[in-house]
Structure 1
Amino acid sequence: MDTTPLPEKIGGFTGRKSDKKRDNANSNEPDSPTVDSKPDDHPTGKYQETEIAEESSSPNLHTSLPHVSEEIDGFIHTLCDVNIDKSNPPEVPDSVENFSELVESMIARLDSGESKAKFEQNVEEHSDFVKAVNRMSKLTNALGEFPLTPALNRTGTVLQRAMSFLEEEFRTILEDSRSSNSDQKALSTKQSSFKSDDHESNRCVLPEAESNGTEDFPSFSPEVVSNMNRIATAMIFAGYETECFQVYSISRRSSFQEALKKLGFQNISIDDVQRMQWESLEGEIATWIKVVKNCATVLFSGERQFSESVFSEFPSISRGQFSNLARAVVIHLLNFAEAVAMTKRSAEKLFKFLDMYETLRDLIPAIDGMNLDEGADELKSDISFTAGRLGESAICIFCDLENSIKSDTGKTPVPSGAVHPLTRYTMNYLKYACEYKDTLEQVFHQHTRIERPNVSDESDTADRGRSDQNGSDETADPSPFSVQLMAVMELLDANLDAKSKLYRDPSLRCIFLMNNGRYILQKIKGSTEIHQLMGDTWCRKRSWDLRQYHKSYQRETWSKMLGSLSHEGLQVNGKVVKPVLKERFKSFNATFDEIHRTQSTWVVSDEQLQSELRISISAVVIPAYRSFLGRFGQYLDHGRQTEKYIKYQPEDIEASIEEFFEGNPTSMGRKRT
């Protein structure tokens, strides 16, 4: 690429430095715009300069553009001779005036077209025009090395007119020439005939993407990109880079905003976010996540390639233009995330906050791959800061779960000893939260490092309780998130224990603790993430607790009834005392009737636990009753006495037990005959 400084605007235009030396008039570097093109550079395969017809009374207009251009090139070569006396410029040939008139004539003819984008009308003529403008830039630049002359003012005026025309054309193409029809793009690709010198015409090929309305972004056909490349190169070479950049920047920012709007993302102020109902804000967050991911995978990629194509001869300019746009878009997106992080915290917001955190976290590697300029580190820092704000909010929301459990102090027991709503809410909340296990561990760890800056990085790998091959927990320090999870579980256990005391019936108290304990254990075993955090030791302890509740239930419920089936006191001197026997049968029948009446209304929702309880009851009651009935039933007189005192057969007892814990009161059936 030509390393010669870009020429300043000449004459009365802003930015001119008359004493600055220029030596690029005869540069032959391949990246610099050249005066003469090789024959195979022309779209038709053979370069032919356009003859300029007579359009005024000046006889010089009869001269062909190739002839005048040749004379201008020779004059430029003379002006750039290192041995020339800068204080005594050579005589300006008539070809300078002729060339100026020819360029003016070309501007007037091109500017008279009815179409907004004139460059789409006559490809060959516009190719000649751009080359003529580049030659005029070199001429004006060379004349600028000498004291002010009429020739300099003349060429500077013509160059300014040419730049104004190109600037307007550049703006028009950017705003009006975006292709919206894939068939048109395919056709234009085949018919493209206005290729940029020394560059591929198809410079805006985008990566494949999901169908979301932006996969073709920025949707310019190859020949249009080539036109913009020619115009941008000519403007920058002439020293009009500021005007070029301004037009490009304004148009591209507007186009990018249109693309974001097409994805559904609206400009929402911080105040609007604060006032928005959560249901509405949740939808906006989902859209924001989609937009950020789309920017990272499609929009930014397309925009970067587009910028590289338009400013292909100036890589640093291309990178700067794209970087400025990317920073503006990302900051705009971060403003929304900041506003969301400032909203009032509530439990249902946790998961969306974590989604937003993950989206920003994953955006940072995408920024690394965008080849931004020196502002990339600052931009990544801004992204990390906003992600940190969301992470801190998520931690606070999760920790508020403790307060929710502590504040649940209702004095009304759950009917039938069922699973308490607090248990269901807490465990389902933890289940969904632990689907973000890695993210929560990350944000909790970052928060802990902020609170305890002396924590060493070496402990990172030892922050999790793990299990060895035998299933025993290692003694590694638990992660901050698992510590928080343990704290929540301890609070829930304490709360449930307090609620169990609201039941007057000790047996129902045990059923309540079994129901809730079994529900908690099944939820933890059903979630790999929670199980990993709680560990096998905790689960074994929970299973042991459930067995103790079961034993307590058996003792509280059936000990009195089994006492009725005791053999003690039924015989005196080897003879059965019938009154005592009759009382034992009456006591058994009454106790079992009461247990059945009561416990058939109790609820055990876990089918396995329900089955385990029924089996254990049958294993205790049926054998004892069958033995008692078989031994002493014969001592009752057959007939009315037997029917009065032997109310149930063992099969009746077994059938009745199967009605326990259904949650529906049932009437006792009569004995089987």
Structure 2
Amino acid sequence: MEKNAAAPEKSVSFPRHSSKKNILFSSPITPRRYETIDEEAPPESQDPDQDPNSSNQTATELNLSEVLEQVDRFLDSFSEAKENGNSDPTEALEVPDSVESLSKTVESMINKYGRSLARFGENEDEDESFIDAVIRISRISTMLDDFSSSSKTGSALNRTSTVLQRAMAQLDEEFRNLLLLDQQDANAAKSDYNPEQSFSSKITSKLSSFNSNSSGSSHGSVRGQQPQPEPDRLVEFPSFSEESISTMNKIATTMIAAGYENECCMVYSISRRNAFKSALNNIGYESISIDEVQRMPWESLQGEIGTWISVVKLCSSVLFSGERKLCDAVFSGHKSLSESLFCNLARAVAIQLFNFADAIVLTKRSPEKLFTMLDMYETLRDLVPAIRDSYPEDIGRELISEAEAARNRLGEVAVSILCDLENSIKSDNGKTPVPSGSVHPLTRYVMNYLEYTCEYKDSLEQVFVEFEKTHGTPGTTSSPFQMQLLTVMDMLDSNLDMKSRLYRDPALRFIFLMNNGRYIMQKVKGSTEIHQLMGDTWCRKRSTDLRGYHKNYQRETWGKVLQCVNHEGLQVSGKVSKTVIKERFKCFNTLFDEIHKTQSTWVVSDEQLQSELRVSVSAVVIPAYRSFWGRFKQYLEGTRQAEKYIKYQPEDIENLIDDLFDGGNTSMMRRRT
């Protein structure tokens, strides 16, 4: 609190103050102007009747400890007089010569520090002496300031105030220089790590695999592989030595005791804010505005997000805890002040990080952004315990609330993107069937997408539960994310059933359904997370559906073929008719040739399914043909047209069946050979 200086001889236009208010980054208190450190003290006002050599004589005769003892007796006497009801102790007490001696001693020390003849922190005994002397000067100045209108104390007040100003200026500079050491070390050790390139390339690899033909097991998941700065760069943050911290503690304690708390906190806050910013810059993080985020292409933004994730994790694991320890060490004995300084710094950083997350939420939504949103969601979720451990409960509660709010907004975007996947499946209503009945691109995309999505199963469970609570959606016995997954799978089934009807050949329709159904089953079985969510009941039903498609294919394709080699209806008037036998062989040859020509171009990419189909066809066709051929070929043997009707041996049929569902590759090779 500023006081009016009434004494005309008091040259200092600003007094000391000892405000205990917190120093906020956003509204710093303007520090007072210090006297120049190297400036010599102005000549003190002297009493005309005083011997000009008396003070010098006292300074020569008394050492510092004796001076301090005399000053302490004066301070005690002054305090005792006030307690005894003396409204103006200066009327009864003279300011002793030891005050001037003390002032000269402090000035001498200041000049020694200011001219680099010594450095604060190098000699512990000298530092302690300086601190003890400055504390006495501060007490004298404070005491005399209460009676500034007294003509007897005006000269001493002016003298001690000026010396105190110079002492605080010296400590201010020493404090500032010590705090700058960490920032200089950080700049010297700047890392050349490039998190943007690493994160972006991994995300691109993940997205490109959605439409690939490979199974999920062949793609290395990038889950949990966000880039991290090299650990040795930030293993110790801040990088102050124990000696530097001890010296800063002495300076802070002295400045606060002398009533210069605001100036001390201002220097500390600005220096540590700049050092923290430098540490973040050195690992590639730069503050980006919401407008800049909206204008950036997604590919570039992925790199920024990767860096952001690294920064948040570093803050939660290293930077915040290191900053808190430093603040507690420098301001030990002033717990509330330490908490205030740390919280203001960390909150400013945290809010900046939260704002970036909010800016990402506002970008245009698309399916490929889901995984990035979930990575950011998990990062903020894991930040909350670090905030809880670093902050006092009353202060941390507000910041945790803001962190959870930013996290929940990311979660809502994730829910929205998964719901948009339903719309994407619905809108995929192309009228052109996939050639050869192979796996549809939509099936590959959705299943690969869900496979990677389920790697975030635990987080998505949490996201959907929070979403239901926020939006009042009634709960279910199953997990809400599981219900969402089942909904997507049902919609994919409906879409595939619609696409299967685009095939004119019913047999090819069932091949298409088998291909896609088998692909879906393999993806579900290959992912522990999807399998757990879909459940055994769903898998059994899917297997039943696949067997049904298989049976329908056999009926549609081979039913008429088997009728040709049926033993019934071959007799006319009680005898086997050669004409009927010829027609039966001819019909079999025609149908089989047509099926072989057509279905050898069809594709069944799953080798196990391909083998199962060939085995099942062979199991019904070859025995029936072998039986018919073995029993009735004799009626045509020896005739001129026997080879025309008996075109295939049973072994030929078996070899030709092995050509089916191979996309024409085997048939082409056989023709070449």
Q: Give the structure 1 partner of residue 322 of structure 2.
A: 302
Match of 1:353 among 362, 373, 377: 373
The correspondence for 2:447, drawn from 427, 433, 436, is: 427
Write the mapping of 1:555-594 to structure 2, written as runs, cut at 5 A.
555-594=555-594
Distance (Å, rounded) in 1 between the aligned partners of 2:488 and 2:183: 57
2:353 to 333, 340, 345: 333
Task: Report what 2:612 is aligned to.
Answer: 612
- Provide the rounded CA distance (Å) in 1 between the counterparts of 2:384 and 2:550: 54
Partner of 1:130: 131
Residues 206-250 of structure 1: CA deviation (Å, up to 9, x unaligned): xxx971521121111111111111100000001100000001000
- Provide the secondary structure at the position in 2 that maps to 1:601: coil
Alpha-carbon distance, 1:643 to partner: 2.6
AA aligned to 1:223 is E
User: 2:299, 2:117 → 1: CA distance?
Assistant: 51
Deviation at 1:86, TM superposition (A): 4.0
Name the SS for the 1:80 alignment partner. helix
Q: Match for residue 252 of structure 1?
A: 272
1:518 aligns with 2:518: yes
Aligned equivalents of 1:541, 1:13: Cα separation in 2: 89
- Which region of structure 1 is more displaced relative to structure 2, 151-160 or 427-436? 151-160
| SS of equivalent residue, structure 1 residue 591 | helix
SS, match of residue 235 in structure 2: coil
Question: Which residue of 143, 161, 166 maps to 1:156?
Answer: 161
In the alignment, structure 1 residue 371 sits paired with structure 2 residue 391: yes
1:238-282, Cα deviation, whole Å (9 max, x unpaired): 110000000100000000001111121111111111111111111
Query: Could you tell me which residue of structure 2 aligns to residue 175 of structure 1?
Result: 180
Q: Name the structure 1 match of 2:663.
A: 663
Q: Which residue of 1 aligns with 2:23?
A: none
2:111: which partner in 1?
Answer: 108
CA deviation after TM superposition for structure 1 residue 64, in Å:
2.1
Q: What's the counterpart of residue 409 of structure 1?
A: 429
- Aligned partner letter, 1:289: I
- CA 1:667/1:480 → structure 2, altered by over 3 Å: closer, same or farther? closer
Instruction: Tell me the alpha carbon deviations over residues 473-494 of structure 1, each in whole angstroms, 9 at most, x when there is no partner.
Output: xxxx222222222221221111
- Give the Å deviation of 1:156: 2.0
Q: Distance in 1 between matches of 2:393 and 2:366?
A: 40
Q: 2: CA distance between counterparts of 1:171 and 1:86?
A: 41
How many Å separate the matches in 2 of 1:245 and 1:437? 46
Q: Is the partner of 1:119 in helix, strand or coil?
A: coil
Alignment partner, residue 67 of structure 1: 66
- Whole-angstrom CA distance in 1 between matches of 2:668 and 2:642: 18
* SS in structure 1 of the partner of residue 233 of structure 2: coil
Q: Distance in 2 between matches of 1:568 and 1:649?
A: 21
Aligned in 2, Cα 1:645/1:571: closer, same or farther, shift over 3 Å? same
* 1:524-535 map, 5 Å: 524-535=524-535
Match of 1:267 among 287, 291, 296: 287
**SS of the residue aligned with 1:437?**
helix
Structure 2 CA distance for partners of 1:654 and 1:225, relative to 1, 3 Å: same
Shift of 1:371: 3.1
Figure out how many residues of one structure are paired with residues of the other and give that number.
582
After superposition, the C-alpha distances for 1:506-559 in whole angstroms (9 at most, x for unaligned) are: 100000011111111221222222222222222222111111111110000001
Question: How far apart, in 1, do the equivalents of 2:668 and 2:268 lie?
Answer: 88
Change (3 A) 1:180 1:313: same
Q: Once structures 1 and 2 are overlaid, which stretch shifts more, 118-127 or 317-326?
A: 118-127
- Aligned runs of 1:386-405 on 2, under 5 Å? 386-405=406-425
Native 8 Å contact 1:597 1:667 kept in 2: no
Q: What whole-Å deviation, never above 9, does each CA across 1:144-190 have from its counterpart, x for those lacking one?
A: 45565222332222112111111122112111366749xx9xxxxxx
- Between structures 1 and 2, the one with greater helix share: 2
* Distance verdict in 2 for CA 1:552–1:631, change over 3 Å: same
Structure-1 separation of matches of 2:168 and 2:666: 96
Work out whether residues 213 and 262 of structure 1, in 8 Å CA contact, stay in contact via their aligned partners in 2.
no
Question: Is 153-162 or 569-578 further displaced after alignment?
Answer: 569-578
Shift of 1:14: 5.0
Q: Give distance in 2, aligned partners of 1:73 and 1:272.
A: 62
1:98 maps to which residue?
101
Distance 1:153 1:450 in 2: 65
| Gapped regions of structure 2 (runs ≥ 5) | 19-52, 190-228
Amino acid in structure 2 at the alignment position of 1:273: V
Identity across matched positions, percent: 60
Alignment of 1:575-654 (within 5 A): 575-638=575-638, 641-654=641-654
How big is the shift at 1:431?
Answer: 1.1
CA distance in 1, matches of 2:185, 2:513: 65
Kept after mapping to 1: 8 A contact 2:2/2:14: no
1:480 maps to 480
Matched, 1:446 2:466: yes
Residue 553 of structure 1: SS of its match in structure 2? helix
Q: What is aligned with 1:191? A: none
Check whether the contact 1:289–1:359 (CA below 8 A) recurs between aligned residues.
Answer: yes
Match of 2:201 in 1: none
Contact 1:307 1:318 in 2 (8 A): yes
Normalised by the length of structure 1, the TM-score is: 0.82
Check 1:633–1:439 CA distance in 2 against 1; reply closer, same or farther (3 A cut).
Answer: same
**Helix, strand or coil at the partner of 1:287:** helix
Q: Secondary structure at the match of 1:132?
A: helix
Return the offset for 1:667.
Answer: 4.4
* Cα deviation, residue 592, structure 1: 1.1
2:296 matches 1:276: yes
Change (3 A) 1:425 1:9: farther
For residue 79 of structure 1, report the CA deviation from its aligned partner.
Answer: 2.2
Paired residues of 2:183 and 2:278 also in contact (CA < 8 A): no
Which residue number corresponds to residue 187 of structure 1? none
Higher RCO structure, 1 or 2 (CA under 8 Å, sep 6+) = 2
Larger displacement relative to structure 2 (249-258 or 563-572): 563-572
Distance apart, 1:634 and its partner CA: 1.6
Decide whether the 8 Å contact of 2:175 with 2:248 is kept in 1.
yes
Q: Kindly state the Cα deviation for residue 17 of structure 1 after the two structures are TM-superposed.
A: 8.1
Helix, strand or coil at the partner of 2:432: coil
User: How far 1:7 sits from its partner (Å)?
Assistant: 12
Matched-pair contact (CA < 8 Å) for 2:380–2:403: yes
The aligned residue for residue 333 of structure 2 is 313
**CA RMSD for the aligned pairs?**
2.8
CA distance in 2, matches of 1:225, 1:513: 72
2:221 paired residue number: none
Q: CA deviation at 1:61?
A: 3.6
| Alignment check: 8 A CA contact 2:455 2:529 kept | yes
Say which is worse superposed, 650-659 or 479-488, in terms of deviation: 479-488
Pick closer, same or farther for the CA change 1:177–1:632 going to 2, 3 Å.
closer
What letter is aligned with 1:571?
Q
Whole-angstrom CA distance in 1 between matches of 2:14 and 2:452: 63
Residues 643 and 396 of structure 1: CA distance in aligned 2, closer, same or farther (over 3 Å): same
- State how 1:15-26 maps to structure 2 within 5 Å: none
* Aligned-partner residue type, residue 316 of structure 2: A
